[in-house]
C-alpha cells in the first residue's frame, strides 16, 4: 500500500501546482501592496469599467465608473468630482476612499511599477472585484 499512497500524494501535489500556475497566469492571485499618495496620483482605468483621475491636491474625477448589484452584475455607471484619501497613513497606504460613487474602500495590489487597485463588488461571499490599473 505505500506505493498507492505515494502515487496519490504525487497526484495531489500535481493538482495543487497546476492550480497555482493557473491562478498566477490568470491574475487570480492578489498580492497586497502599499502605496504613497504620490504613487496614486494619475489616471486609473481598465477596459469598459470607467476611469478615475486622482489629483495631487486631493480631488478625484470619476468618469463612467461601473456600479454593480448584489449579484456582481454591472447595472449602471457613476461619475462626478469629489475628494480622495488613503489609510492607514500617508506613507504606507493599503487602501483608499473616494467621496463619489459607492463601493469603498479600494485596496492596492500589483507592483510599484504596475500598481492595481480593486474593490469588492456584489455579495462579498462571491469574491467578485472591480480592478483598475494606473495608466
Residue pLDDT, tens place only, 54-71: 999 999 999 999 999 989
15, pLDDT greater than 70 = no
- Coil/strand/helix, residue 97: strand
Query: Which ranges of 55-117 does DSSP label H, i.e. alpha helix?
Result: none
pLDDT of residue 82: 97
CB 103 within 8 A of CB 77: no
Q: Model's pTM, two decimal places?
A: 0.76
Percent of the chain at pLDDT > 70 equals 79
C-alpha cell at 76: 449602471
Amino acid at each position: 500500500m505505500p506505493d498507492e499512497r505515494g502515487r496519490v500524494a504525487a497526484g495531489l501535489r500535481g493538482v495543487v501546482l497546476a492550480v497555482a500556475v493557473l491562478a498566477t497566469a490568470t491574475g487570480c492571485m492578489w498580492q497586497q501592496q502599499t502605496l504613497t499618495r504620490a504613487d496614486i496620483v494619475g489616471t486609473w482605468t481598465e477596459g469598459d469599467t470607467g476611469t478615475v483621475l486622482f489629483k495631487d491636491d486631493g480631488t478625484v474625477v470619476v468618469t463612467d465608473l461601473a456600479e454593480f448589484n448584489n449579484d456582481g452584475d454591472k447595472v449602471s455607471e457613476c461619475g462626478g468630482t469629489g475628494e480622495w484619501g488613503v489609510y492607514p497613513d500617508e506613507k504606507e497606504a493599503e487602501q483608499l476612499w473616494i467621496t463619489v460613487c459607492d463601493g469603498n474602500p479600494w485596496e492596492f495590489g500589483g507592483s510599484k511599477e504596475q500598481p492595481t487597485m480593486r474593490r469588492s463588488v456584489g455579495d462579498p461571499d462571491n469574491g467578485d472585484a472591480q480592478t483598475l490599473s494606473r495608466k
